[in-house]
Structure 1
Amino acid sequence: MNYIAFFRGINVGSKNRIKMIDLRELFSCLGYQNVKTYIQSGNVIFESNKQESMIMVELAQAFTERFGFESKLVLRTAEELATILADFPFTAAEIQTVNDRLPAAEHVYFYLSNNEVDVSAVEKLAEEFIEEDKVFVGKREIYFLSAQSIRNSKLGTKLAKLDDSFTVRNRKTLNKISELLTS
């Protein structure tokens, strides 16, 4: 089965620096096949016949032993990623509106979790931080359309704190990973 591991907090600024070649080597040493990484933020595509729960435990332990720090990990199958992208809720017009106002920023993000998202908590935050940002809740992900830079979004910051397993990726990254899965 094809999986994608999304590590949180790798190579952000000067903290938790690791080379992707070392991360690929870790996966290969654990017996995972066809290991690929995408960009320097800890996105790993691989194949395994192991159960998801076993992969999570094995990777978390091996990662900490190898690199000397803990990084939260979110795991998705290729099918799950395809569903996330197929269920994309925002229209081209909505995206174009925010792009027209702030063309230099990335506006579409996915908050990925290992847990089911608490819909009521997201709705409460969205009401509290009414801006021009938009959210849509999936099963274990939140789709986020930021009217500004995500770094300047109060709602974006609060969403990340709802679940300590959340890791955030932009749409370009998930689309590229999807392409790599089929190549």
Structure 2
Amino acid sequence: MRCLINFGGGTGILPVPDAAGTGETPVPPGFYPRLEGADGCSHGGPGAAAKRTTAEPVACLNGVRAMGRFVALYRGINVVGNNRVKMESLRAMHERLRHHAVQSYIQSGNVVFEAGGAAENIARKIATRFVEEFGFAARVMVLPAVRWAALVRANPYTAQSAALPQTVHAGICDGEPDAEALRALLTRTGGSESFSVRAGVVYLHAPDGFGTSKFAAGMEKACGVAMTVRNWRTVEALAKILDGSEPSLPR
């Protein structure tokens, strides 16, 4: 049995040992991808020594799917006491969707997990199940870990986020934002903010605060596409959960 898997830098064929344990798995040293069989059971490398891939799986063969690492970003839950969702209930919902290694971070709705398939398909399944379980719709974006890592690396405000991370925000867009409209908005609002658009993300530096920023308030409408915003503390915390460097962050 073989599985086609993306190792980040390229794609290779991964032979999966049979029930008798015969055969070898020619993967890079220390790399043990999590696999999910057609029966829904997880199969992986040697326990805690396993190293997760940050790439989204590209295909599968013989009913075995490579498991990728993802983050789901919810919008519109637990806002000023409205649309309340307990994080333990949200994690349980993900587990019922056969997501693995599910972790949540703070109450605004950030869930890291492992799953098979493309991010867009996973997001659709999550949105459907969310309505069924909680009785209202919430917008959710799902990003593979490799894209989240790229988002962190592309930050143009590294000095500002290191000194005052609460002043830097990432607006993750469902499509390409309208940079010209954003520049026009910034001219109209005339505040102290600055922004940069890179690969579908609006990076915002708001030194006088996000909550009082007129630019931030009009940012999504100007973009012309759906957006969900996270401050840089959350961005970095999720990056640490995704790469396994800090697995015990507060829920």
Q: What is the TM-score of this pair, normalised by structure 2?
A: 0.66
Q: CA deviation at 1:94?
A: 8.6
Equivalent of 2:229 in 151, 168, 178: 168
Highest RCO, 1 vs 2 (Cα 8 Å, sep ≥ 6): 1
**Stretch moving more, 160-169 or 28-37:** 160-169
- Asked if the contact 2:172–2:200 (Cα under 8 Å) also holds between the matched residues in 1, the reply is yes
CA distance in 2, matches of 1:29, 1:74: 19
In the other structure, the counterpart of 1:115 is 175
Q: Does 1:3 align with 2:63?
A: no
1:95–1:154 Cα change, 3 Å: farther
Q: Which runs of 5 or more structure 2 residues have no equivalent in the other structure?
A: 1-67, 245-251
Code of the residue aligned with 2:124 in structure 1: it is V
The secondary structure found in structure 2 opposite 1:152 is: coil
RMSD: 1.8
CA distance in 1, matches of 2:215, 2:160: 21
In the other structure, the counterpart of 2:120 is 53
In the other structure, the counterpart of 1:125 is 185
Code of the residue aligned with 1:11 in structure 2: it is N
Output one character per residue of 1:83-126: Cα deviation in whole Å (capped at 9) or x when no partner.
11101102526975xx5xxxxx9211111122122222222212
Q: What is the TM-score of this pair, normalised by structure 1?
A: 0.89
CA distance in 1, matches of 2:190, 2:197: 16
Give the structure with the higher percent strand.
Answer: 2
CA distance in 1, matches of 2:151, 2:225: 20
**Stretch moving more, 144-153 or 86-95:** 86-95
Q: Does 1:22 align with 2:83?
A: no
Q: CA deviation at 1:164?
A: 5.7
Deviating 4+ runs (over 6 angstroms): none
Output one character per residue of 1:133-157: Cα deviation in whole Å (capped at 9) or x when no partner.
0111112210011021211100010
Q: Does 1:70 align with 2:131?
A: no
Output one character per residue of 1:37-83: Cα deviation in whole Å (capped at 9) or x when no partner.
01111100011111222112111111111111111111211111111
Number of residues paired by the alignment? 176
The secondary structure found in structure 2 opposite 1:23 is: helix
Q: CA deviation at 1:16?
A: 0.8
Instruction: Give the share of equivalent positions with the same residue, in percent.
Output: 29
- Asked if the contact 2:176–2:225 (Cα under 8 Å) also holds between the matched residues in 1, the reply is no
1:112–1:69 Cα change, 3 Å: same
Code of the residue aligned with 1:81 in structure 2: it is W
Q: Which runs of 5 or more structure 1 residues have no equivalent in the other structure?
A: 100-104
